[in-house]
């Protein structure tokens, strides 16, 4: 692929690109844990340590993502504008700035220290879920495929919460490998991310979830990395490895119960070597974020990070029990089996489901108290990943919100999937069953939303 940068180009670009965007004018509420102070201490620490003056590090200025960049990923109901503020577009746009710099060979890697976060935002967006409206990581992935011609991308989500939004967006996509490790969903929001969730029938094994017991330490996470994540990444052969970097596995985080340290996070990054990391969660504003982010930045820049230690850190304070070790080993073993048998699992699923696979989903938006119900359908096509549709209806309390019928054509769709998807779009426009009929035509890079009440069409 002509637009892919060669290894040589990338090693010539020695700098680590950073973007800071604390979004001072956006918060869910003044005392909400996801608020602007999240990045202030990190920024102070970085300037205090003189990181920005080092030749290895280069600050980049953010820009706005366009509504089209958002529509390439999300079906926002009723439209993109109603679901985002300028802060959301800047957070997403920051990842695009780093993508362009990386692909132009100007930086060797980059870290977008931005908020609001994104990894709980799913394909359909009726409101805010888990502090997220739009998925910065997914917007970057689709941008990299559209603008830079990449095909296979791996996302490793290291936030303590399951990256259920990113999982939903790439569930049926065999070209995007999504690996999330997180605190066991039986003990933490959003209550998902179990081993059995392994991707849609055409993409089985391309979603890998590693639920970890509460109290997991650096040791546990490094075990997962070395025994599962790195071998799987090697075999998958991604054009790029990206990291949804949540810092809430830290032992001081107020929203979760894990025992990672800044050193553990820095080492994780050093092993994983993501091309671009995008900040997700992390709510210990003073005791964790400055240290974890500093450690990650220095690891990315190839600098010594051994001095990045929390003031209250005591070596050896956190130990995993034997039961925890056994549980982690068993989970990794099950995931290794899934990964190795992925082609076989796809063959069995296709045999079982025939031409179309349908599933019902209920989605709860904790921040906005919205209940959504979806009927999702994907064509199990022999020639391509298959076009898919989502019929969605949402309600808040007893108030019904908008409904939509959403059709998505994958970027490498075959001719027949393209034709059938367009036909479905025309059919649903004519009936008045849904408030909106939306089409994501990724091969043409055209995104349409038809309002059946006003009979007008919006194009992105």
The CA distance from 191 to 84, in Å, is 25
List, by residue number, the catalytic residues: 120
* Least CB distance to Zn ion at residue 383 (A): 5
Q: What is the CB neighbour count within 10 angstroms for residue 382?
A: 11
**CB closer to Zn ion, 376 vs 393:** 376
* Least CB distance to Zn ion at residue 388 (A): 11
**CB closer to Zn ion, 269 vs 452:** 269
**CB closer to Zn ion, 226 vs 383:** 383
Helix 86-103 and helix 136-148: axis angle, to 10°?
A: 40
Q: DSSP secondary structure string, 356-402?
A: EEEEEEEEEETTTTEEEEEEEEEE--SSSS--EEEEEEEEETTEEEE
* Least CB distance to Zn ion at residue 194 (A): 17
What's the angle, vertex CA 339, arms to CA 333 and CA 344, rounded to 5? Answer: 120
- Cα of 5 vs its chain's centroid, Å: 23
For residue 125, the cross-strand partners are 76
The CA distance from 333 to 200, in Å, is 21
Q: How far apart are the first and last CA of the chain?
A: 27
Structure tokens at 167: 């999982």
Is residue 417 within 8 Å of 409, Cβ to Cβ? yes
- Which residues, 6+ apart, have CB-to-CB distance to 156 below 8 Å? 179, 180, 229, 233, 241, 242, 243, 244, 272, 274
**CB closer to Zn ion, 110 vs 246:** 246
**CB closer to Zn ion, 57 vs 439:** 439
* Least CB distance to Zn ion at residue 447 (A): 19
Q: Which residue is nearest to Zn ion (CB)?
A: 281
Is residue 111 within 8 Å of 300, Cβ to Cβ? yes
The CA distance from 358 to 235, in Å, is 30
* Least CB distance to Zn ion at residue 354 (A): 15
* Least CB distance to Zn ion at residue 441 (A): 14
Sign of the alpha-carbon torsion through 268, 274, 280, 284 = positive
The CA distance from 342 to 232, in Å, is 12
**CB closer to Zn ion, 97 vs 414:** 414
111 SS3 class = strand
Structure tokens at 27: 């918060």
**CB closer to Zn ion, 142 vs 280:** 280
Report the interface residues with Zn ion, using CB under 5 A.
159, 161, 246, 248, 281, 381, 383-384, 414, 417
Of the candidates 150, 172, 177, the one whose C-alpha atom is nearest the C-alpha of residue 386 is: 172
* Least CB distance to Zn ion at residue 128 (A): 14
């Amino acid at each position: 692929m002509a637009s892919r940068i060669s290894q040589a180009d990338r090693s010539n670009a020695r700098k680590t690109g950073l973007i800071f965007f604390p979004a001072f004018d956006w918060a869910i509420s003044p005392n909400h844990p996801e608020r602007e102070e999240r990045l202030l201490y990190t920024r102070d620490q970085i300037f205090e340590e003189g990181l920005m003056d080092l030749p290895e590090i280069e600050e980049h200025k953010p820009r706005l993502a366009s509504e089209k960049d958002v529509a390439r990923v999300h079906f926002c109901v009723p439209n993109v504008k109603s679901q985002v503020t300028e802060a959301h577009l800047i957070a997403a746009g920051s990842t695009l700035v780093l993508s362009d710099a990386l692909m132009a060979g100007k930086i060797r890697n980059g870290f977008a220290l931005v908020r609001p976060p994104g990894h709980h935002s799913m394909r359909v967006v009726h409101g805010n879920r888990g502090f997220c409206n739009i998925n910065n990581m997914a917007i970057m992935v689709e941008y990299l495929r559209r603008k830079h011609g990449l095909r296979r991308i791996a996302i490793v989500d290291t936030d303590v919460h399951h990256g259920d939004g990113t999982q939903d967006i790439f569930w049926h996509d065999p070209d995007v490998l999504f690996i999330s490790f997180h605190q066991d969903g039986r003990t933490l929001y959003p209550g998902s991310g179990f081993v059995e969730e392994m991707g849609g029938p055409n993409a089985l094994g391309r979603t890998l979830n590693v639920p970890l017991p509460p109290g997991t330490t650096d040791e546990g996470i490094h075990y997962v990395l070395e025994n599962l994540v790195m071998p799987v990444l090697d075999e998958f052969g991604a054009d790029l490895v990206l990291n949804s970097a949540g810092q809430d596995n830290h032992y001081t985080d107020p929203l979760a119960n894990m025992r990672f340290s800044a050193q553990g996070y820095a080492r994780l990054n050093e092993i994983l070597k993501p091309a671009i990391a995008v900040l997700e969660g992390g709510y210990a504003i003073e005791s964790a974020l400055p240290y974890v982010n500093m450690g990650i930045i220095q690891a990315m820049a190839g600098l010594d990070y051994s001095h990045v230690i929390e003031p209250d850190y005591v070596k050896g304070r956190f130990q995993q029990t034997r039961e925890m070790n056994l549980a982690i080993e068993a989970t990794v073993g099950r995931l290794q089996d899934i990964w190795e048998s992925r082609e076989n699992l796809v063959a069995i699923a296709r045999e079982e489901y025939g031409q179309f696979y349908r599933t019902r989903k209920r989605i709860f938006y904790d921040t906005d108290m919205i209940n959504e119900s979806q009927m999702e359908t994907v064509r199990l096509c022999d020639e391509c990943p298959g076009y898919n549709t989502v019929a969605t209806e949402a309600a808040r309390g007893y108030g019904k919100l908008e409904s939509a019928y959403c059709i998505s054509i994958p970027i490498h769709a075959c001719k027949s999937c393209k034709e059938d998807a367009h036909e479905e779009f025309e059919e649903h426009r004519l009936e008045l069953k849904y408030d909106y009929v939306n089409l994501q035509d990724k091969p043409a890079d055209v995104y349409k939303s038809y309002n059946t009440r006003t009979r007008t069409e919006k194009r992105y």
